[in-house]
Amino acid sequence: MPFFWEIALSDNRDDSLNPGPPFGETSGSTMPGTIPRAESRFQPVRDRYGWRLALVFGNHAPGGFCPSYTHERCFHCDIGAGEGAAFDLTTNRQRLAWFQEFYQPHLASVSHLVLYNSGSVLNPREMPSEMLEEIVTFARSLPAVRVISLDSREPYLRRETVGRILLPRRTGITIRPILGIESGDDRIRNEVLRKGMPRTAINRVFKDLSKLAAEFGPASIGLDVNVVIAGPGTTHTTAVVDAVMTARHALTAGVEHGVKVDLNLHPYYVGSRGSAHFPDHPRCSPATTVRAVAKIAELVRSMATDCSLFIGWNDEGHDRERQQGHREIEQARAAFDRFNHTNDTGVLNGLESTWG
């Protein structure tokens, strides 16, 4: 599951699709609370697959909390706090309907749909199977969709769970669960961040996905791995090394198991939990982001593996240094967007010197 969401998108980007209806305009039949708050509504952006759209659904677990958040895991994450209340079938169906109306002008162009729910969409306690099925059916109905990513966590990334989504196959669509490994360093992941995600569990995910790739074909299944850049447990000196090592672990496991891995690269920012648990740990500097991304892109080239890289920097309203965050994003937005579309590190040239 994510620590950061998709890339944030404002309304006046030069590469976004034409804007849809103004936020908040609906048919009038939607219950309050089912409309996602502004910070978690995303404009379509481009990635290597084409137009990418992220949809954030509600979480059905008690209080709307991600269970890992409830159990004091993931010290870096505020997203697991959910939206202040548990969703049910009615409210999430209303949100689905709202999305369909709100994004209607864009839906025919969406190639990559990314599904979130402030936790794991593959955990039936957080997203009942029938709700997930309705959402995936909607996703599959999009005429241009090639990739559907589903944010999850390792206990729910199982052959049976993911296999159920693969069964009603439509040729040409890849299902890609998202796994927030964050750091390939076991100490950082499990002791510092308290992810509670042992290496054996990660290996088991790759094995299960490998079986699905054999059963349904390698083009049917993939894995999106979240990597935190310069998160707690790293230092100014080790941040880039840690991010590259994490990427290498994920890509190597993907090659070994015949599972295509894509990487979501997330610069660390300071949220509420982060500041409570790691009061002295700073946000990831933009220069570190660029260095890490460039090194990871180089790694991808050297491994000759087909991997899509995506820089996500949105904070969903959790960044405690918002003004600084916005300043940095404004300087980098155009270059990061071009990078996400092309994965060409040349578009990042010059950014690092801007920041020093």
Applying CB under 6 A, the residues found at the interface with ligand SF4 are 1, 3, 66, 68-69, 73-74, 77, 79-80, 119, 153, 180
Q: Parallel, antiparallel, or unpaired: how do β-strands 50-56 and 45-47 relate?
A: antiparallel
Q: What distance lies between CA 28 and its chain's CA centroid?
A: 30
Which C-beta is closer to ligand SF4: that of 69 or that of 206? 69
Q: Least Å distance between CB 258 and ligand SF4?
A: 26
Q: Least Å distance between CB 98 and ligand SF4?
A: 22
Amino acid at 247: A
Q: Least Å distance between CB 122 and ligand SF4?
A: 12
Nearest CA among 157, 263, 173 for reference residue 208: 157
Which C-beta is closer to ligand SF4: that of 80 or that of 325? 80
Instruction: Check residue 90 and give left, alpha or beta (phi > 0: left; psi -120 to 50: alpha).
Output: alpha
Which C-beta is closer to ligand SF4: that of 48 or that of 76? 76
Nearest CA among 79, 96, 78 for reference residue 34: 96
Q: Least Å distance between CB 180 and ligand SF4?
A: 5
Which C-beta is closer to ligand SF4: that of 47 or that of 154? 154
Which C-beta is closer to ligand SF4: that of 266 or that of 291? 266
- Please state, in angstroms and as integers, the Cα–Cα distance from residue 284 to each residue in 23, 301, 313, 324, 325, following that order: 31, 24, 10, 11, 10
Nearest residue relative to ligand SF4 (C-beta): 1
The end-to-end CA distance of the chain, in Å, is: 32
Q: Least Å distance between CB 123 and ligand SF4?
A: 10
Tokens of 26: 């609906």
- Please state, in angstroms and as integers, the Cα–Cα distance from residue 317 to each residue in 66, 212, 277, following that order: 17, 37, 19
Using DSSP, state whether 224 is helix, strand or coil.
strand
Task: Find out whether 264 and 312 touch, Cβ atoms under 8 Å.
Answer: yes
Q: Least Å distance between CB 12 and ligand SF4?
A: 30
Which C-beta is closer to ligand SF4: that of 281 or that of 291? 281
Residue 147 β-bridge partners: 112, 174
Residues with Cβ < 8 Å from 169, sequence gap 6 or more? 216, 220
Which C-beta is closer to ligand SF4: that of 69 or that of 268? 69
Q: Least Å distance between CB 183 and ligand SF4?
A: 12
